[in-house]
C-alpha cells in the first residue's frame, strides 16, 4: 500500500516535471568519452577454500552437524542433536550476517499431510533450540517438505532414519 502511494506520488511529480522540462536543457551533457576496457585479470583464488558464509563453508566448519536426525514420529532435540545445533550456533555467531532455512523432513512411512505437519514441527524444534542458544530468530526460516524429498531412497529402517531430519541450509 505504501509502495502504491509512493508510486502515485512519483507519477504525479513526474507529470509535473515532465511538463516543465519540455524546453531543451541549457547545457548539453558532455559527449561520452571512449574509455578503454580494462583487460581482464585472472580471478583471485581464495586460498582458504569456500567463501565464508556459503553452504560449503558452513558444511566444512560444522561437518555432519548441518543436519540433525529424529526418531520415528518424534521431534525432540536429543543430546546428539543438541551437540550438532551447538556447533551450528557457534558458526552462526561467528558469521552474524548469515541467514538460513531449516528444512524439516519425514520418512515415507507416514501419511502425506501429517508428514508435512511433522516436518514443520521438527524444523521448528531445531529453530527453537538455536534461538535458545542465542541465534536471532529473524535469521531463521522454517520449511517443511514432509516426505516429499527423501535423501535415502530405499524402503528400510536405515533409509528412513536418514530421512527423518532437519537440515540447516544457508540462504546468503
How many other CB atoms are found less than 10 A from the CB of residue 167? Answer: 20
Question: In the numeric block, which cell numbers belong to residue 36?
Answer: 578503454
CB of 98 to other proteins, least distance (A): 18
State which of residues 71, 82, 149, 157 lies at the interface with other proteins (CB under 8 A): 149
C-alpha distance from residue 2 to each of 15, 74, 165 (Å) = 20, 44, 40
Name which of 52 and 161 has its Cβ closer to other proteins. Answer: 161
Among 49, 134, 154, 157, binds other proteins (CB under 8 A): 154
The verdict on 10 binding other proteins (CB under 8 A) reads yes
Dig out the grid coordinates for 3 from the structure: 509502495
The single residue among 86, 124, 133, 161 that binds other proteins, judged by CB under 8 A, is 124
- Give me the DSSP letters along 91-135: HHHH-TT--EEEEEE--SSS-HHHHHHHHHHHHHHHHHHHHHTT-
34 binds other proteins (CB under 8 A): no
Residues in touch with other proteins (CB under 8 A)? 6-7, 10-11, 14, 17, 21, 25, 29, 73, 75, 108-109, 111-114, 116-118, 120-121, 123-125, 127-128, 142-144, 146, 148-151, 153-155
Amino acid at each position: 500500500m505504501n509502495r502504491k502511494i509512493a508510486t502515485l506520488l512519483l507519477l504525479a511529480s513526474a507529470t509535473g516535471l515532465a511538463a516543465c522540462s519540455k524546453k531543451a536543457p541549457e547545457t548539453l551533457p558532455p559527449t561520452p568519452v571512449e574509455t578503454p576496457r580494462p583487460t581482464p585479470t585472472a580471478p583471485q583464488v581464495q586460498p582458504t577454500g569456500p567463501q565464508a558464509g556459503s553452504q560449503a563453508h558452513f558444511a566444512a566448519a560444522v561437518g555432519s552437524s548441518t543436519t540433525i536426525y529424529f526418531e520415528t514420529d518424534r521431534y525432540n532435540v536429543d543430546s546428539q542433536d543438541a551437540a550438532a545445533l551447538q556447533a551450528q550456533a557457534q558458526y552462526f555467531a561467528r558469521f552474524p550476517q548469515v541467514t538460513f532455512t531449516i528444512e524439516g523432513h519425514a520418512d515415507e512411512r507416514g501419511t502425506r499431510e501429517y508428514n508435512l505437519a511433522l516436518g514443520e514441527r521438527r524444523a521448528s524444534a531445531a529453530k527453537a533450540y538455536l534461538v535458545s542458544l542465542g541465534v536471532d530468530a529473524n535469521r531463521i526460516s522454517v520449511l517443511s517438505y514432509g516426505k516429499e524429498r527423501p535423501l535415502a531412497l530405499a524402503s528400510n529402517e536405515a533409509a528412513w532414519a536418514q530421512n527423518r531430519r532437519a537440515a540447516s541450509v544457508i540462504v546468503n
